[in-house]
Amino acid sequence: MNYPKIKLIFFATVILCITWLTGFSRVAIDSRDSSFKTEDISRIMKRVADWQINAWNTKGFSHRKADWTNGACYTGIFAYGNMKGNEKYLKTLVNIGNDVGWNTGHIRFYADDYCVGQTYAQLYSKYKEKKMIAPFRLLADSIVAAPHDEPLNWKNNIHKREWAWCDALFMAPPSLAYLSTATGDQKYLDMASKLWWKTTDFLYDPSEKLYFRDESYFDKKEKNGAKVFWSRGNGWVLGGLVRVLENMPKNHPDRAKFIKLYKDMVGRIAGLQQPDGSWHASLLDPASFPIKEMSGTGFFCYAMAWGLNQGLLDEKTYLPVVKKSWVALTSAVHEDGKLGYVQAIGASPDKVDANSTEVYGVGAFLLSGVEIYKYLKTHPKTR
């Protein structure tokens, strides 16, 4: 028996274990101390927001200014800009709106193409300039008037007319819901609710409490035999869900249904969190892409932090989940403010690395940070 070799392997294993445990302790300390202080949250949000805006200013936009990718980013920029002292970020959004004439995308009933409507509506609510919502309101009236009687089967370009894929639940319903708040006209919110449940009846798996991306994934399996549930896809759903709820009066007849769905999904998602605080690209087969992914993680963090702020979630159960997810999110921020580990545009779980970034990841990061900041301001003992 080769005893020196056995000793070498033993000591190498011990060193690796110590390194891993030290790293784990450091993460735990960060989540309890520096990373979870309002001043640190504000500082890192500024770095991330500034990096993104600087990238737009120096390199130009990688996608159309009214594209869903940027539309998702604008939601976070607005939330951050709406904090005291940050109005210059809102001015950036106003300039973008002026550049595109406050128009949505070119495919009228395609949910992705009117994701920007939610930010237009929020800006209108703040500045009261009718031009900010005039084109989108005309489109929204057309959406309300449409029959929406097609089945959601994934064929014949159904996605250009109906909300036939789960991502649409972040893009479209919040846009109608924020418009409802901005105008005081409930018909937009009522249509958002009606079509939300049409999509949910088709894509939601009540046994798993998760959404399929679209019909084409009903029978697909991961390498481990589990159903395919995409992290960002379900992040889109939860992010959209809380943004609809944010605009839904407490006496709305569908509010209780939304809250039940929210709590069911959040409970399921929390149980799928990885030890480092993130969620991998594949929810039920995290080993298939064994690395943190920040767009899904960001939207999950945002949705749970929002629920804590609204008193919908138990602090003892969910605050630790939010803390761990924030540590994961901040660990993906480069020194210059670039947010890494964001899965590229797609429709299913896929690979990611430290340099992978996209604008919607920034949106999710900022939405999360703002909600956590609000929570710590009203719950100072948790800092």
Region 119-137: mean pLDDT is 98
Region 56-69: mean pLDDT is 98
Domain 46-382 -> CATH class: mainly alpha
Q: State the pLDDT at residue 34.
A: 45
Q: State the pLDDT at residue 25.
A: 32
- The candidate with the shortest Cα–Cα distance to 195, out of 153, 242, 147, is 147
Reported as half-sphere exposure (CB side, CA atoms, 13 A), residue 370 has a value of 21
Q: State the pLDDT at residue 222.
A: 98
How are beta strands 210-211 and 204-205 bridged, if at all? antiparallel
Enter the tokens of residue 70. Answer: 């940027």
Matching residue, tokens 């070799």: 5
> Within the chain, how many helices (H) and strands (E) appear?
14, 2
Q: State the pLDDT at residue 381.
A: 78
Region 10-23: mean pLDDT is 39
Q: State the pLDDT at residue 168.
A: 98
Q: State the pLDDT at residue 21.
A: 37
Residue 228's pLDDT band (boundaries 50, 70, 90)?
very high
Question: What element of type H or E holds 205?
Answer: strand 204-205
Terminal CA-CA length for the chain: 55
pLDDT(132) > 90: yes
- The candidate with the shortest Cα–Cα distance to 205, out of 223, 224, 218, is 218
Q: CA angle, corner 64, sides to 62 and 70, nearest 5?
A: 75
Q: Tell me the torsion sign for CA atoms 122, 85, 91, 116.
A: negative
Q: State the pLDDT at residue 2.
A: 52
Give catalytic residues, as residue numbers: 167
Residue 270 near residue 283 (C-beta atoms within 8 A): no
pLDDT(242) > 80: yes
Region 276-301: mean pLDDT is 98
Is this prediction's pTM over 0.75?
A: yes
Enter the tokens of residue 83. Answer: 């904090």
pLDDT(27) > 70: no
For residues 376, 366, 273, 316, the Cα torsion angle rounded to the nearest 10 degrees is 10
Q: State the pLDDT at residue 14.
A: 41
DSSP assignments along 244-271, one per residue: HHTTS-TT-TTHHHHHHHHHHHHHHHHT
Q: What value does the mean pLDDT of the chain take?
A: 93
Q: Which residues neighbour 345 within 8 Å (Cβ) at sequence distance 6 or greater?
A: 69, 358
For residues 39, 315, 297, 160, the Cα torsion angle rounded to the nearest 10 degrees is -110
pLDDT tens string 184-201: 999 999 999 999 999 999
Residue 24 near residue 327 (C-beta atoms within 8 A): no
Domain ranges of the chain: 46-382
